[in-house]
Amino acid sequence: MNPFLEKLNAGAILVADGATGTNLQKMGLPPGIAPEDLVLDDPSLLLALATRFVESGSDLILTCTFGGTRLRMKESPYVARVAEINIRAAQLARRAADLRPGVLVAGSIGPTGMLVQPLGPLAPQDASAAFAEQAQALTEGGVDLLVIETMFAMEEALLAFDAARAVSNLPIVVSFSYDKGTRTMMGVKPTQVMKTFAEKGAAMVGANCGSSLENMEKIVQEYASAKPGFPIWAKPNAGLPRLDEQNRAIYDLTPAEMGASALRNIAAGARVVGGCCGSSPEHVAAIAAAVKGFSTSGRG
C-alpha cells in the first residue's frame, strides 16, 4: 500500500512542515528569486531548510515546487527545464526525508496565478497540460503523494485534480486558501470543496494559508461537519504579516500558539497539521510536541 494511505488507515496524525518562501528569505534568498530556481542554482539551501523541518519533527515535507508549473515559471530562465526541476526537487526532499525513518514527501502543486476562461485568460487545456506535466514529473521524482494547494477557484482546482489523476496513481490532497474568513476570494466554501473532492476520490481535503488561526479552526469544523470522519489537512499561516522598518514581512504568532491551534484542529478532525507562511522550524517543533502529547494521552 502507498505509505501515506497506510498511515492514514492506521489512524496516524501527521505533522507537516512549515513555510518555504519566508524561511528561504531568512536564509538569504534574494528578493525576486523563485524557490524553484534554487533547485538548479543552490540546492544546498533547499536541502538545509527541508532538513531543519525533518529535525523539528515533520512527518511529511513538501517539495519546493509550489510555482513549478510551466505557466508559473514562464519568466524563469529555466522554463525549458520544468520537468527536470520538479524531478530534482522531489529527489532533494527525499534526501532530507530519509534522515528519519518514515518521513513522507509530498509533491506541491500550486495555482497558476491566472483565472480560467471565461473569467480570465487561462485556457483550460493549457492549465491541464501544465498541471499534468508537473504531476508526472513529481511522481517520477519519487514523491509519496501530491498536494494541490492554495487553490481559490473551483475551476482551476478541478483541472489540476483531473490532470494529476490522469498521469499519476498517487494519493491526492486538495487544499484551498480561505482568505475571506471561511470563503476563498472566489467565494468557494469548505462544504463545496469537501463534497466535490471527496466524491472525486481525493485522499484528503484541507486548507492552507488563510487569514487567522481562528478562521482555520472554523474551516476545519465546516469540513468535518460536511463529511464526518473524512481526513482533513490544516496548514495555517503564523498570523497575518506586518512590515518592519526594512520592509520585511514579520509574522507574530508564537510556536506555542501554533501548537495549541493544531490541537484544536486535530480535535475537530484534522489528520495532517503544519504551518504555512511565516511558520518556522520552531513553530513546527511546537506543533510536533503538541501532537506527540495528544497521541500519548490517548487522544483526549
Instruction: Quote the pLDDT of residue 300.
Output: 44
Q: Does the N-terminal peptide bond of residue 190 adopt cis geometry, omega within 30 degrees of 0?
A: no
Instruction: Quote the pLDDT of residue 151.
Output: 98
Contact 149, 98 (CB under 8 A): no
- pLDDT tens-place values along the chain, 300 residues long: 999 999 999 999 999 999 999 999 899 898 889 999 999 999 999 999 999 999 999 999 999 999 999 999 999 999 999 999 999 999 999 999 999 999 999 999 999 999 999 999 999 999 999 999 999 999 999 999 999 999 999 999 999 999 999 999 999 999 999 999 999 999 999 999 999 999 999 999 999 999 899 999 999 999 999 999 999 999 999 998 888 877 778 899 999 999 999 999 999 999 999 999 999 999 999 999 999 888 766 554
pTM: 0.96
Instruction: Quote the pLDDT of residue 51.
Output: 98
CA distance 70 to 64: 15
Contact 62, 20 (CB under 8 A): yes
Q: Which three cell numbers stand for residue 146?
A: 501530491
Q: Which domains does the chain have, with CATH numbers?
A: 3-296 (3.20.20.330)
